[in-house]
Amino acid sequence: MQETILILDFGSQYTQLIARRVRELNVYCEIHPYNKIPEITDWIKGVILSGSPYSVREKNALIPDLSKIRPKIPVLAVCYGAQYLAQHDGGEVKASNNREYGRANLSFIDRSSNLMKGMSDGSQVWMSHGDTILNTPSTFKIVASTSDVEVAGFSIKDEKTYGIQFHPEVYHTTEGAVLLRNFVIGICGCAGSWTPESFIETTVKWLQEKIGDDQVVLGLSGGVDSTVAGVLLHRAIGKNLHCIFVNNGLLRKNEFEKVLHSYRHMHLNVKGVDASDLFLDALEGVADPEKKRKIIGKIFIDVFEAEAKKIRNILIGRHPFPGPGLAVRILGEITRERVKLLQEVDDIFIGSLHNTGLYDTVWQAFSVLLPIRSVGVMGDERTYENVVSLRAVTSTDGMTADWAQLPYDVLARISNEIINKVRGVNRVVYDISSKPPATIEWE
């Protein structure tokens, strides 16, 4: 585990930016919904409450349960979070006479406050709220003001809890990094030793332990977030990751093909799905921006779930395959030529079972290259070439198995196609041994 700053999200557009600023201080942080607070362990060194597009005065305001956090752990409440603390503790929050958006300057700074250390007179801050704190509880101490906002910042007596009505995470708050450092390093006591590189290592290891040999289906949007998630998962579980990239018909020109190419260049196992018509047909005649978003979101989920189900069915329906691969199906010496030969044979066999609808009727099917040659006749010439055996069994768990009684005409066509198309094979046999006494595999 590692020291962590917990960010509780109330829906602010800046929440991800808060996380970025914390990580720039070389401190690990996690974002969680305000109503899904994780277990508070000794590794959580501080909590940041984000802003929100909502008002604490609304009937259905977003109310967090901070009973396991205050006053045990340092808290920094930003905008909505600060207004929630003020109202919850008995203060008064009202709609501002003048909405407070954009640049402002601190006209008062309490330099005895650990949160405000090192900040300059007149320091520029960025406001973005329609409500304001009019009156504070007796336990609150004002630590920062602007000419229009008396309670621009406060601390709470006998707690390491602070609130600010401006956004320290945005670029336009010129000394926001100073304030965040004061909180994360100074007040919370974080060492600042975390790095993105260490995060990658620990995340990959955690994913490997968590997922094991399970299969994972991931939706990719083409954006940074999902791509990073895909790369990390691929590092952890490799071929067990199955990605889906949906073309909604609203991408840039040729972007679908370019992004698919990029993903494959990253060695991601990705399936591209062109669902342009579905999206564009559903959006026809719709002008309202929220309706457009909801339509796009719903169709994306529908398409993703349908494709994920297909992948799931393929994965569940796939026949078992041995860990050593074709090595245990090539009896005798393994060479590149013999591997290629068996791959060609097996592709014809399995492909034919799919084409005839027989693949799902057997538990396992495969081909075996035998360590012998046999005499044959092709045209007017005698041949002395390889023998392959086809094996198909029925079973429920692999502990016992019976040979699958495939139709003779299907076996005949498969044998004929193998001998005609795979150079080096002149005889095909079918294994009719059960388990026991034989095993399913030959080696």
Positive or negative, the Cα torsion across 413, 414, 415, 420? Answer: positive
Q: Give the H/E segment covering residue 413.
A: helix 408-421
Rounded distance between C-alpha atoms, residue 411 and residue 422, angstroms: 16
Burial class (CB in 10 A: 0-12, 13-18, 19+), 270: buried
User: Which entry of 3, 100, 150, 169 is annotated as an active-site residue?
Assistant: 169
261 noted as active-site residue: no
User: Which entry of 129, 167, 234, 242 is annotated as an active-site residue?
Assistant: 167
169 noted as active-site residue: yes
Instruction: Report residue 181 CA to chain centroid gap.
Output: 29
385 noted as active-site residue: no
Q: 47, 52, 37: which is closest to 75 by C-alpha? A: 47
The CA-atom distances, in angstroms, between 60 and each of 33, 57, 94, 208 are: 16, 8, 16, 41
Q: Are 260 and 270 in contact (CB under 8 A)?
A: yes
Q: Are 38 and 81 in contact (CB under 8 A)?
A: no
User: Which entry of 79, 188, 190, 243 is annotated as an active-site residue?
Assistant: 79
Entry field: residues in the chain: 443
Rounded distance between C-alpha atoms, residue 322 and residue 305, angstroms: 30
Q: Which ranges of 367-428 would DSSP assign to H, the alpha helix?
A: 408-421
Q: 20, 15, 88: which is closest to 50 by C-alpha? A: 15
- Tell me the three state secondary structure of residue 139: coil
Rounded distance between C-alpha atoms, residue 326 and residue 342, angstroms: 8
- Tell me the three state secondary structure of residue 234: helix
Rounded distance between C-alpha atoms, residue 157 and residue 70, angstroms: 12
Q: Are 24 and 176 in contact (CB under 8 A)?
A: no
Rounded distance between C-alpha atoms, residue 327 and residue 360, angstroms: 25
The catalytic residues are: 79, 167, 169
